[in-house]
Structure 1
Amino acid sequence: MTEIDEGLFNEFWDIYNDATDKGFESRQHSDPDFDFYNELRRNNGVFAAFKTHRFQNDMAAQLLDRDGKLKSFAQWEDDTQDIRDHHVKHWLETEYNTAVKRAHISADWRQFEREKDILPNLEWVKTTAITPGKDHVPFWGMIRPVGDPVWNEHRPGDRWGCKCGLRSTDKPVTQVPEEANSPVYKPAPGLDNNPGKDAMLYSFSHPYFALGYMTYKKLSPIVKKFVQKQIEERKKLKEFKRDKVAGKRLLIHERADISELEDNKRAGRTLVENFPKMKIRVREHIRNEDGIKNPEYEINGLLADAKRVESSKGITAGFVTAKGQGCSIVIIDFDKHLLDKEVNRIDVARRIGWRSGDFESGTIKECYIVHNGKAFRITKKNYDNRAWIVEQLKKSGM
């Protein structure tokens, strides 16, 4: 679970939360169901984590052929087509629609509980489906008290695609149908709980939870810790806005340094344009008690700062000050002062090579050179390859 793909997880989580907002409706602090609403969303995160884990495992299981040899990418891509279609299309669409239905049922149930002194009973309403299934036919019209145990075993929404409903009533109760005790009418795995009580749109019997409750109990603390981390991360993200050009890959803190904001956005846009998988945040502007300002960037989770040098001679000072700020990444930005001007490529390569101690110790993990709207990356693998650096500078038109 520690290697779960956060990007994929967040995509799934957002989809389930959207379904919750559609079915349950978003709630404010003053609403009596605000805490329950948040618990629904948190449990959506748990379900999304298990789905992501299952998806990754299913994909990984196809990496090797029958002889245990690694498949070519083309072969693996072809062999996993059905898996991708199921997880991110067919199953996901069904899960979304079911989540909307069960979130709506959850909202209704909370209301039923509050009004049971006036309307003590619930009536199972016939499906609105054009071609209804037979699973719930025996329950249509059944009227039982809100607190009746039958609602723990059977309820609308406990079958995939169900379009039955519930409504509160003061009509007299009816008999529980004999079919209620038949295994034929058992709820579908993952839908055998009452989401209006436990705030889980999908229960621990769902196949994503592997072997059921015991597996869920074992992994649940790990998953919940992961989800809590994501919740806290999302709270932080509320202080950021998307860049108008680069979008969500370049986020700007609402209290970013105004004096350098345009330069930070310019360099950030150059970086994300040149590195498709890169995600950047321009951080809040803070100075510590010694007057040292915090790093301006966070790049793929690592602290970084841009040094807007006036020549290659500024590289050394740039590395030194970046280390003093606790950075793992240094950005040497020539475009502030040397846009469309020549840079001494050999001297740049030489001065980068002098930073052997920084790269070898791991203090500095990456260095990005930005010039003329282009960028390339230097790491421990190539910092001392002067010919390669010069060639990269040439290719970038520097």
Structure 2
Amino acid sequence: MFKQIFYTFLSFFSSRSRGTAMKNSDCLSSSIAVMKYSGVWMPDNLTHGGRLAYIVFRYVTQTVMFFFIILAEIAYVYKHRDDSERMVDAAVLLMSHLVQAVKLMTIIVRQERIKRLIALGDGPAFTPSEPQLKAQLERAVKLTGLVGNLILVSAGVTAIFWFVVPALKDVLTLPLKITFPFDVKGQYIFAVMYFYTSLSVVISGVGDAAENFLVSGVLTLASTQVGLLHEQLLNLKGDGKQDKDCCYKKAVLCVKFHQRIIEYVEEIAKIFGMPIFCQCVTSSIVVCMTVYKITITQEPVEMMTMIFYLMCVMMELLMYCFPADVLINKSLQISDAAYPEWSGDVRTGKVLLLTALRAQRALVVNAGGMFRISLPTAAAVVQTSYTYYALLQQKLKKE
């Protein structure tokens, strides 16, 4: 799997050096490759038999490597329900895995809609013909793809730390806090279970990063398209005293482009609203428990692992909130750029006025229809995490 990701990473940049036409979705290629080889993302152009074989592959990999682990973690929490410290220790990954299950099922169930969304982003409506705007879009795609690869690498490093730490302790334990319905203390069975849980940590960790970046990538592409619309409107104002018919046609195209972007963002919110909601709600709890573990651990390697994990959790939150916040700010700038303050054609002015009025409502992604995603949302999550942390400390001190 990692070999395929590496080759995808190289081909992403080598294709540009050969002059191959870049797709807007190229920034998502590594994430899609991870999901494809872990059984989440069904490849295109499969035969009927190939689709059935892939469904079986998906069922085996996700059930064995992911859902069995969740059941074992739930069993551990239930077994130690009277021990608050052990429950906190186990609940860190359990909460993350439960949210990942929501993302996983969303991508599997709504995969055709997601593919249509990506195809729409690759279509001519979102690919400008002007050299300046096209170059701006390509730079954004390259930068987004690079960030996505860095996120996948950081998730892989964190996963490796997670299963290496138990091997450095005096008493070797499994990487995860789990309970199985059979004895795993035997020499051979313990080695098998250690390898199994370690592989599960890597697959689920990198897979979770890929699923998160899929949402972040489409949000980033949406904000980039809004930026292109802003440039087109400014250029239109500069041409306002020239050919009136040409300006009118360009203004109509800008209105249609704006409407397509609105529909694109609304579809993102409909598809990914619930996973984003679950991620924001549980992030405050996960951050609280992770910070608590960092403060009580006495082992430097374990502390480093938890710090890496905390960075990944915060990165997950920012992968949703930052591009959504950029989208909000850029969409509000459309109103100023579209306002017809130049002395051009009256027809063009009316068209731009409609665009300016519509752009006064920001393009937002609501998490489950409850609250909008933005950087203030991330700040609120961190603030809530600190409140939970203070309450957790007080409760454990009393015990």
The TM-score with structure 2 as length reference comes to 0.26
Structure number with the higher helix fraction is 2
Larger radius of gyration: 1
Between the two structures, name the one with larger relative contact order (CA 8 Å, sep ≥ 6): 2
Structure number with the higher strand fraction is 1
The TM-score with structure 1 as length reference comes to 0.27
